[in-house]
Structures are given as C-alpha cells and as structure tokens.
Chain A
Amino acid sequence: MLGALIHGLRRTAAAPGLVILLWLASLVAALPAAVMVQEAIHRSVGTSLARESLREGFDTGWFGEFEAASEGLPATLSPSHTGVGAVFDALDAWWNGDLFRMPVSTLVFGVTFALLWLFLLGGALTRLHRPRDRMGWVDVVAAGGRLFPRYLRLAVLSAPLYYGVFRLAGWLFPKIEHLTRDVTLERTVLVYNMLAAVLIVLLLALVKMVGDYAKIAIVVENRRSSVLAFLAGCGFVLRHPISTLGLVSLFAVLTMALIAAFAAVAPGARESTVVGIILAIAASQVFLVLRTALRLGLLASQVVLFDEQRRRI
C-alpha cells in the first residue's frame, strides 16, 4: 500500500503536464463564471466608495445590498469564500449532498465540468499506466476521446449507487435526529452524527473506488464492456479491502494536511494592492494545482496497486 502510494506520487510528479492540464480544465471551466461574477461586483460598486472598502477588506453593508440585488451565479458569492473557507464550503456541500441542491446555473457548470473531467481522465489514466511511454497532449486527448463513452457508461452505472448513498443519508440523519431528540448534550449528538458521517463518507469512497478501479481495468485490461469493468472494479475492491481503502485513507490524510497548510497561509480579505491581489489569486491556484496533483496521485497509486495485484495473480 505504501509502495503503491510512493510509486503513484512519483508517477504523478513525472507527469506535471497532466496535473496542469486537469487544473487548467477547472480554471477554464470556472473562468467564464468568475468573469460574470467580477462584472456583477464591478457593476454593483461602480464608482462608489464601496469600491475602496472592498479593496481594503470586506464590506458587509455593501454585501447585503449586492446579495439582495443579485441572481444566478453572482448570488452565490459569500464572505465565507475568503481563504480556506472556500474549501470548507465546497467540502461541506460535497458530503451532505447540498452540491446537488445548488442553483441551476451552478449545476450546469458542475455537470459540464464533470463531463470534461471524465473526458480527460481516460487520457490521464492511460498516461499514468504507461509512465515510460512518451505521450503528448494529442495522445492524452485522443485516449480520453477513445475511452470517454465507456467512462460515461461507468458514470451512469455509479450514479444510482451515489443516489442510494445520499438517499441513505437523507434517511439516516433525520433518524439520528429522532433518536437523539431527548439527548441534551451536543457532544453526544455530535458523536452520533460523526459516526453517520463516517459511514456516508465511507460509502461515497467505496463507490468512488469501484468506479476508479473500473476505469483502471478498462485502461489496463483494455476492457470493452463497462458493465464487466464495473464488476471487475467491485471485485478488486472486495478482494483487497484493506489496501484499497488504506490507500484512499492515506490520500485523505494528505489532502487534509494540504488544507491545513493552506489554512495557515491562505490570504484573508485584506490584500489591497494589485500585487497583493494577484498573489492571493496565485496562492489559491497553487493550492488547487496541489489538490489536483493529489487527486491524480491517488489515481496513479490505484493504477500501481491494480497492476501489482494483477501481476501477483
């Protein structure tokens, strides 16, 4: 497991172009929306003094007016997007399913990006599986295009499982609320909720692992059938529960360490010079590059693990 982790990280480090490609994909997908938000903010502050208070920090008075007048994507702006809060907001929405209750405009962007990510993933996995091969951008994109239909079918196969997990969460947490309705201590209620959250996150990770190993099986074993690949993914996770889950857990720890490091250095709301603003944006993008690298590192490690176990057989 540790060997897979180290080899996976090495393979990722050896393919910085892939990391950049996937990070760029998120940037390119989000940038048009960000321009819309920037335009909305600029239109709101116009040439008023609020422009200066926004430059110096955050103006809750202006924000109330902006929020009241905004619709669509600009209406999602929140003071909690400052620093590491942006990461916490997204994480909270991920595990509790709020992600799918976002405004339609956000959902459209989300689904579009997910498809783009899926497309690139085929190429990325092919590249990570064959680290010694020289693959250019064109090869990566071509591999993505070739694998995309199968990956899309895999996503369709995974969707009901994710739906089931969130349905379970929708049943479980009210149940906990009901079971603890006479508990007067928050810490007791918190423990119940944390246990339930661990279960939900574990199930989400399980479905994710099955999907990931199915994608890997398609690349490594050149499987044509998505259904059989999905079953292969299931089988692999079931045969190697400790190493597969351990690997995911190790990367979860690394991701948490990255978030903690970002929290320590994350820019707040007070950068006011042009250089400061650029550096703040750059810092947040560096974090995203590293986060993407970890995501890719996990995939690479899973490829290594899959290969190792296959070779043993």
Chain B
Amino acid sequence: MGVVEALGVARATRRLAVCVLLGASMASGGAAAISEAVLSPRNASYTISVELDAAEKRLEGSLLLEWRNIQDLPTDELRFHLYWNAWRNNRSSWMREDRYRGRSDRGEKILAEDWSSSDLESIRLLGVDDQPATDLLPTLSYLWPDDGNIDDRTLFKVDLPAAVEPGETIRVEIEWTARIPRTFARTGYRGDYFFLAHWFPKLAVFEKEGWRAHQYHAATEYYSDYGVYDVSMKVPAGWVLGATGREVERRDNGDGSETHRYSQADVHAFTWTVSPEYLELQDRFEEPGLPPVELRLLLQPEHRRQAERHFAATKAALKYYGSWYGPYPYPQLTVVDPAFGSGAGGMEYPTLFTSGTRLFNPLGAGRPEGVTIHEAGHQFWYGIVGNNEFEHAWLDEGLNSFTDARVLEAAYDEWVYSKRYFTPPGTEAGQGFFPFLFRDIRLTREVDGNGLDRYRRTAISDVQSMPTWRYHPETASGISYSKTATWLHTLERHLGWDTLRRILSTFFERFSFAHPKPEDFYAVASEVAGEDLYRFFDQVVRQARTFDYAIDSVKSERQKAEGWFEADGELVLREEEQSPDESSEEGAEYHTEVVVRRLGSGTFPLDVLLVFEDGSEVRRTWDGRYRWKRIAHDGPSKLEYAVVDPERTLLLDENYTNNSRFLEPGDRWPATKWAGKWLMWFQNLLMSFAYFV
C-alpha cells in the first residue's frame, strides 16, 4: 500500500469513526459522562477522533463540530484558532512577542524537530438531510487582526455558502494533521510524555458584536464556547491516559494500540495527556454541603511520597472555592503531575489541571500546594466562569490568584521563604535541585500570596482595562495576576470579607457557563457592596494610578504658654520663664502635629493613627483626596509614633515603609542585625574569590 493510498484509507477510517461516534453519542442521548442537567448553552460541541504517533510526535485527527448560532445576528463565515501554529517558526506573533519579553535565547535552543504545526487537510460544511457537503477549504484565509503579521497562522476563517441565522445549527467536519511541539506554553512532549492542550482546530467565539477572535499571543490564553466533547484517542497500549471528562470506553485495537474515549459536557476545551510512566491514584473529595468529586491523580513515580499533598491541596481548593463561591459541578477532577522539565506544569483545563513539584520539596515551601490550589481554583474562574482570556485575563487570573492565596492561608499553617541550591550553570538562580527552608522567615498572604512585589514592578506598565493581548508581554502577568489580587485584597479589607465574598459569589452565580466582561464585574460589585465602587475601579483598572501615602512630619511638644496674649483688653508678651507651673496646668500638656501626604496619583479613604507614650491612641479618618493633611491633637502624653493606614487596608500602597514614623530617631540595631548577616555572606563570598588565587 502506497503512502498516499494509506493516508486516504486512514482518513476514511477516521471519518467513519467520527460518524459512528457521533451516531452512538446521539443515539444514547449523550455519553454516560454527559450530565443530565444542562449547565451551559452547549453551542459548540465536538466529536473528535485522533491518533497519536508517539514515535514521530504527530497527531492525525478528524472532528465534527456542531455549532449553533446563539446570537441575534447571522454570520456568513467561521473563524478558527490553530494554536500550534504559534510555534511553527520564529516569525509567528507568539514567538516575536516571546523574544520581546526577554527570552531571546529560546529560539537558539530550539531544534528543527521541536517546532510544531497544525495543518488542515479538509474542512467541509455538512449538508442538511441528503444535501452534499460543501468544501470550505478553498475559502480558507489566515487573519491577522491584531498586528498584521502575515507570517502568523494561528487564526483563520472560512466563508460559508450561506449565512447561519440566529438559532440555526451547522455541522462542520475537519481533518487535520499536527506536529507536536517540544513543550511551548505548557503543551507538547518530552520523551514519551505527552501533554496535549489546544491541539485541534478550535472555533472562536461569535458574540453579539461579531466574531471575537484574536491571534495567539505570548501573554494571553484562550477563549471559547461551551459544548459537549466526545473524544476518542488512539495511543500505544498500556500507556496511562488522562483527559478532560471521564473515560466512557476503552478498546484494544489489537495492533499494540488502544483507543480511549472520553466525554464531558458543559466545558469549553478538551485536553489530554498520555505517558507510560504515570502512577494512577484515586481519592474522593467529600465535604458537607458540597457535592462529592472523584479525584484522579496522574503522578510521576518519583513523586509517590507527595501524592497525599496533591490530594490535600486539591481538596482544600474544592472546599474553600466551593463554599465561598459555589460548588464544583462536575463529578470528577484529574490532577496531572507533569514530567520533569516538560514545562507543562501549572496550567488549567476543564476538569483537568497540571500541578508541578520537584523531587525534593519539603512541606512549607509553598509547592506543590500553591500551584495545585491555583490551578484547581481555575476550575471555577476560567472553567465555570468563562471570560475572554485574550482580552480580560485578569478576570480569571486575578480573581483566582486572590482566592488561592486566601485558601493557602486558610488551609496551611506554615509557608516560609525557601531557596533552591545546587544550581547548574545556565539555570535560573535559585532554581537548583536541593531546597532549603528558612523557617524563621514566614511568608504572608498580603505580600507574597498576592505578589505585591510583582504588582509594584508592573503597576504603571499598562492600563489594566486594555485588552490583555496588548499588554507588554514581560509585565502582563504582573497586572493580570498580582495587581488584581492586590486590589481585591484591598477591597476585602475595605468592605469586609463577607461583602467581598458575596460580590464574588454573586458574580460566580450569575456568570457560570457564560462569558462575563469587566463591566459585569463592576456592576455586580457596586450592587452587592451597596456603594459606588466605580471610582475605585476607575483608578485601578481604567487608569494606572499609583498609591502612596506617607507620614511627612511629626511633632509633639509640651504646650508652652508663651507669646502674645490678651489680658484685660491689652496685649501681653508672655515668655517661657513666665509660664505658670506646668504640673498645675489642667488639660492638654502636649501639642502634637502630624502631616500626612498623598504622594501617589490614586486616592483612597484612610485612617491615621497617633499612638502616644502612655499607650493612648487617637484615630482620625481622612478621605485621602488632597495632597496633604495636618492632624493636630492636644493631650496629656507625648506622641510615640504616627501611622497612616494602620491596618494596611490599602495594600496597593507601593511604599508602606513611609506610612509610619516614630517621633524619636531610632537606634541602628535592626539595620545592624541585617547588615551583620549580609557581612557574613559577603565574607564567604570574598573567600570564594580568594580560592582562585
């Protein structure tokens, strides 16, 4: 049999398989794993048959897309993403932007076989009833709406022979082949390990304004409609496979391969992974008031002893996200521990996510717990609430980062600073093989969990309300993740957790299985909080305002009855020595003046606290609008220190050190203490230099 002939037979077989699967699926009223309750519009459903050539690192697949136009306007075209073409060569927009964010050496390390591709063999619009199919391939054209890069092949359109009217359903059959990348953007292979995400031609989202489709960018992720996925994957027999949804069928093909069929409804993506090495472990999440969830963990064998930590972190996420926002609606969740060096860790997909750990990873270092909670949390923010990650990534990444830090704080006692040693040359500093925990240095949710440092570095690099794909690639995540988490935590401290939780749970409830926009979030927030929060959002999202309040000066002096006084209608100059006996003076003894300043462009109402030597306190509120405010107080005690925003409500304040000031100049011992530690390091370093002479 010739190659061309073989290819033709294979295609025909796959096409037949798709038809059989679709027929079976429809005949049975949907696969077993498809839930009875319809949770989403299910307007973009896929039946896919794909074969993995593990040796050649290739995929051959065919799919049947059923798409229903749920908007009020017709369309005479379809737009699709071909994500894997982002790594077809180094001229794609993704690769150009990747270089732009300072990873210029990546291209040099890429070998010819590392690049990927996704090529359409055919695309046909199936006819209704007995009408023949229409070949759409001749109408295919690539689109570059974002940057006009004609070398980019991540987005294409095909013209339809007739417009799809509102409410109308069409069926499109696609055959394609793909070369699997050596991992880019957490998808690809390493040896016999495969993690395959965004791997098939995927329909973009048709919204009320028309097609909402962007090219694939280095700093953005994905956006698609909900549907039913029924996917059959042919892989080498005996390998362990994990995928979105549940396995509904497994067939031994008798040729050394197996076909696994997985199905899941009400999701907007389908991801799978396969490897001969995975350890497969099961557990079950049970929590009063929440539905049970079957947990499946695909673990690297060398991480066997960390299995329970993965389960515990996943359960913590399901528990807290579930009770704070709403229950996880699917019956199962798959946790994937990716292969070492695969670069596939820390990514979310519907009902499946990747965590990420290391061979040596003591409890307290924050991993794999932090990443597991974060990615499990994405089941809620991204999976269930499906915002457009091309344009408003902060809606899921930010809300999720805020929440995962909250869960980490609630579920774990110890989170300390750690550093990894034995760092081979060329490896990023501190990413060595052996960790060391500094148990005296505890990390906190507000600073380390939210990523306050990243927020500080990126605060003004972009206006947050801009489409995410327009962000500078290097600082995009700082805004989407850290800035959002920081302003949400600020809101939590301003409004109280109960109010913020109600805001988030209301937003979750209203936009589950939908595509909310930032305006929806602002509206829900103001409505639930019962106050106009638009001014706050204007400053932090629609503008890149910076926040910095400071104590400018403090003064606290004993009241002196000196100067010009009126006595019996005449002006009298009273000098200090003429002052009456101070001990006999009634009322105020000390006059205290504190000047607070607003150094940033953003404003926020704050408290100013004056603490006196006798332990008494005076608290004043300040709307924080004018550039400065003088706070005066007369009292019996001398000021010890003053602090603006004593509870640190405004976590967005980029310099909190200047928020407080003691009246008396302090000693140098704290500085000496840390300079002493630095001295020790520096002497060791100098002795290392001396080694070479």
Chain B residue with the shortest CB-CB distance to A88: B421
Chain B residues with CB under 8 Å of chain A are: 182, 190-193, 275, 277, 300-302, 339-342, 358-359, 417, 419, 421-427, 429-430, 432-433, 436, 438-444, 446-448, 452-453, 456-457, 641, 643, 654-666, 668-693
CB-CB contacts below 8 Å: A145-168 with B: 151, 155, 158-159, 162, 166
Residues of B within 8 A of A196 (CB): 424
Whether B438 and A79, one on each chain, are in contact in the complex, defined by CB atoms closer than 8 angstroms, is: yes
Q: Least Cβ distance of A212 to chain B in Å?
A: 11
A141: interface (CB < 8 Å):
no
Partner of B693, one of A51, A89, A93, A114: A114
Whether A51 and B670, one on each chain, are in contact in the complex, defined by CB atoms closer than 8 angstroms, is: yes
Known: A89-B419, A181-B190; 7 extra A-B contacts, CB below 8 A, are A60-B417, A65-B654, A90-B685, A115-B693, A118-B690, A271-B673, A284-B679
Q: A96-B423, A115-B693 are in contact. Are A61 and B688 (CB under 8 A)?
A: no
Whether A162 and B302, one on each chain, are in contact in the complex, defined by CB atoms closer than 8 angstroms, is: no
Chain B residue with the shortest CB-CB distance to A97: B425
Q: How far is the CA of A106 from the CA of B688 in the complex (A)?
A: 12
Residues of B within 8 A of A44 (CB): 657
Residues of B within 8 A of A57 (CB): 440-442
Whether A180 and B433, one on each chain, are in contact in the complex, defined by CB atoms closer than 8 angstroms, is: no
Whether A30 and B673, one on each chain, are in contact in the complex, defined by CB atoms closer than 8 angstroms, is: no
Whether B687 and A291, one on each chain, are in contact in the complex, defined by CB atoms closer than 8 angstroms, is: yes
Whether A26 and B687, one on each chain, are in contact in the complex, defined by CB atoms closer than 8 angstroms, is: yes
Chain B residue with the shortest CB-CB distance to A120: B690
Whether B679 and A30, one on each chain, are in contact in the complex, defined by CB atoms closer than 8 angstroms, is: yes
Chain B residue with the shortest CB-CB distance to A276: B673
Whether A61 and B425, one on each chain, are in contact in the complex, defined by CB atoms closer than 8 angstroms, is: no
Q: A42-B671, A68-B456, A117-B693 are in contact. Are A170 and B440 (CB under 8 A)?
A: no
Residues of A within 8 A of B275 (CB): 184
- Total A residues in contact with B, Cβ cutoff 8 Å: 112
A250: interface (CB < 8 Å):
no
Q: A30-B683, A47-B662 are in contact. Are A96 and B425 (CB under 8 A)?
A: yes
Residues of A within 8 A of B339 (CB): 184-185
Residues of A within 8 A of B192 (CB): 182, 184
Residues of B within 8 A of A121 (CB): 693
Whether A55 and B438, one on each chain, are in contact in the complex, defined by CB atoms closer than 8 angstroms, is: no
Chain A residues with CB under 8 Å of chain B are: 26-27, 29-31, 33-35, 37-39, 41-42, 44-52, 54-55, 57-58, 60-62, 64-68, 76-94, 96-99, 102, 106, 109-111, 113-115, 117-118, 121, 151, 155, 158-159, 162, 166, 169-170, 173-174, 176-177, 180-187, 189-190, 193-194, 196-197, 204, 208, 211, 268-271, 274, 277, 280-281, 284-285, 287-288, 291-292, 295
Residues of B within 8 A of A91 (CB): 421, 684, 688
Partner of B688, one of A76, A90, A155, A173: A90
Q: Least Cβ distance of B112 to chain A in Å?
A: 14
Residues of A within 8 A of B674 (CB): 37-38, 41, 54, 58, 77
Task: Pick the 4 closest A-B CB pairs, nearest first.
Answer: A268-B440, A38-B675, A184-B339, A110-B689
Q: A64-B456, A170-B425, A182-B191 are in contact. Are A117 and B682 (CB under 8 A)?
A: no
Q: How far is the CA of A31 from the CA of B678 in the complex (A)?
A: 10
Whether B438 and A83, one on each chain, are in contact in the complex, defined by CB atoms closer than 8 angstroms, is: yes
**30 CB-based A-B contacts, threshold 8 Å:** A26-B687, A37-B675, A39-B671, A42-B670, A47-B641, A48-B660, A48-B662, A49-B659, A49-B660, A57-B442, A60-B417, A65-B456, A68-B456, A77-B674, A80-B430, A86-B684, A88-B421, A89-B685, A96-B423, A109-B682, A111-B689, A114-B693, A158-B692, A184-B341, A187-B302, A211-B693, A268-B439, A268-B440, A281-B680, A288-B684
Partner of B685, one of A106, A189, A271: A106
The binding surface of chain B is classed by DSSP as mixed
Q: Least Cβ distance of A273 to chain B in Å?
A: 9
Whether B679 and A184, one on each chain, are in contact in the complex, defined by CB atoms closer than 8 angstroms, is: no
Q: A31-B679, A117-B690 are in contact. Are A190 and B453 (CB under 8 A)?
A: no
Whether B686 and A280, one on each chain, are in contact in the complex, defined by CB atoms closer than 8 angstroms, is: no
Whether B340 and A77, one on each chain, are in contact in the complex, defined by CB atoms closer than 8 angstroms, is: no
Q: A99-B685, A109-B686, A268-B438 are in contact. Are A51 and B675 (CB under 8 A)?
A: no
Q: A47-B664, A110-B686 are in contact. Are A185 and B340 (CB under 8 A)?
A: yes
Q: How far is the CA of A99 from the CA of B423 in the complex (A)?
A: 13
Residues of A within 8 A of B663 (CB): 47
Q: Least Cβ distance of B298 to chain A in Å?
A: 12
Whether B441 and A49, one on each chain, are in contact in the complex, defined by CB atoms closer than 8 angstroms, is: no
Residues of B within 8 A of A173 (CB): 424-427
Q: How far is the CA of A46 from the CA of B677 in the complex (A)?
A: 19
Q: A106-B685, A114-B693, A181-B190 are in contact. Are A81 and B678 (CB under 8 A)?
A: yes
Whether A90 and B679, one on each chain, are in contact in the complex, defined by CB atoms closer than 8 angstroms, is: no
Residues of B within 8 A of A169 (CB): 425
Whether B441 and A189, one on each chain, are in contact in the complex, defined by CB atoms closer than 8 angstroms, is: no
Q: Least Cβ distance of B670 to chain A in Å?
A: 4
Whether B670 and A27, one on each chain, are in contact in the complex, defined by CB atoms closer than 8 angstroms, is: no
Partner of A79, one of B417, B668, B692: B417
Q: A48-B657, A77-B678 are in contact. Are A94 and B688 (CB under 8 A)?
A: yes
Q: How far is the CA of A283 from the CA of B433 in the complex (A)?
A: 28
Q: Least Cβ distance of A289 to chain B in Å?
A: 10
Partner of A60, one of B182, B430, B444, B692: B444
Q: How far is the CA of A189 from the CA of B433 in the complex (A)?
A: 10
Q: A35-B675, A155-B693, A184-B190 are in contact. Are A90 and B684 (CB under 8 A)?
A: yes
Whether A92 and B432, one on each chain, are in contact in the complex, defined by CB atoms closer than 8 angstroms, is: yes
Whether A98 and B190, one on each chain, are in contact in the complex, defined by CB atoms closer than 8 angstroms, is: no
Q: How far is the CA of A281 from the CA of B678 in the complex (A)?
A: 10
Q: A117-B693, A186-B359 are in contact. Are A80 and B419 (CB under 8 A)?
A: yes
Residues of B within 8 A of A115 (CB): 693
Q: A41-B671, A65-B655 are in contact. Are A49 and B643 (CB under 8 A)?
A: yes
Partner of A45, one of B422, B671, B693: B671
Q: Which of B417, B448, B677 has the most CB of A within 10 A?
A: B677
Whether B685 and A182, one on each chain, are in contact in the complex, defined by CB atoms closer than 8 angstroms, is: no
Whether B688 and A60, one on each chain, are in contact in the complex, defined by CB atoms closer than 8 angstroms, is: no
Q: Least Cβ distance of B256 to chain A in Å?
A: 21
Residues of A within 8 A of B443 (CB): 60
Q: Least Cβ distance of B104 to chain A in Å?
A: 16
Q: Least Cβ distance of A191 to chain B in Å?
A: 10
Residues of B within 8 A of A174 (CB): 426
Q: A48-B657, A80-B419 are in contact. Are A54 and B671 (CB under 8 A)?
A: yes
Whether B686 and A92, one on each chain, are in contact in the complex, defined by CB atoms closer than 8 angstroms, is: no
Q: Which of B190, B422, B683 has the most CB of A within 10 A?
A: B683
Residues of A within 8 A of B684 (CB): 86-87, 89-91, 288, 291
Residues of A within 8 A of B422 (CB): 92, 193-194, 197
Q: Which of B423, B430, B656, B689 has the most CB of A within 10 A?
A: B689
Residues of A within 8 A of B193 (CB): 184
Residues of A within 8 A of B662 (CB): 47-49, 51
Residues of B within 8 A of A34 (CB): 675-676, 678-679, 682
Residues of A within 8 A of B680 (CB): 81, 86, 281, 284-285, 287-288
Q: How far is the CA of A57 from the CA of B442 in the complex (A)?
A: 9
Q: How far is the CA of A110 from the CA of B685 in the complex (A)?
A: 8
Residues of A within 8 A of B417 (CB): 58, 60, 79-80
Q: Least Cβ distance of B223 to chain A in Å?
A: 31
Q: How far is the CA of A129 from the CA of B202 in the complex (A)?
A: 78
Q: How far is the CA of A52 from the CA of B193 in the complex (A)?
A: 51
Chain A residue with the shortest CB-CB distance to B668: A42
Whether A50 and B657, one on each chain, are in contact in the complex, defined by CB atoms closer than 8 angstroms, is: yes
Residues of B within 8 A of A159 (CB): 692
Whether B440 and A186, one on each chain, are in contact in the complex, defined by CB atoms closer than 8 angstroms, is: no
Partner of B302, one of A109, A185, A194, A284: A185
Residues of B within 8 A of A281 (CB): 672, 676, 679-680
Residues of B within 8 A of A181 (CB): 182, 190, 341
Chain B residue with the shortest CB-CB distance to A205: B691
Whether B341 and A189, one on each chain, are in contact in the complex, defined by CB atoms closer than 8 angstroms, is: yes
Chain B residue with the shortest CB-CB distance to A204: B691
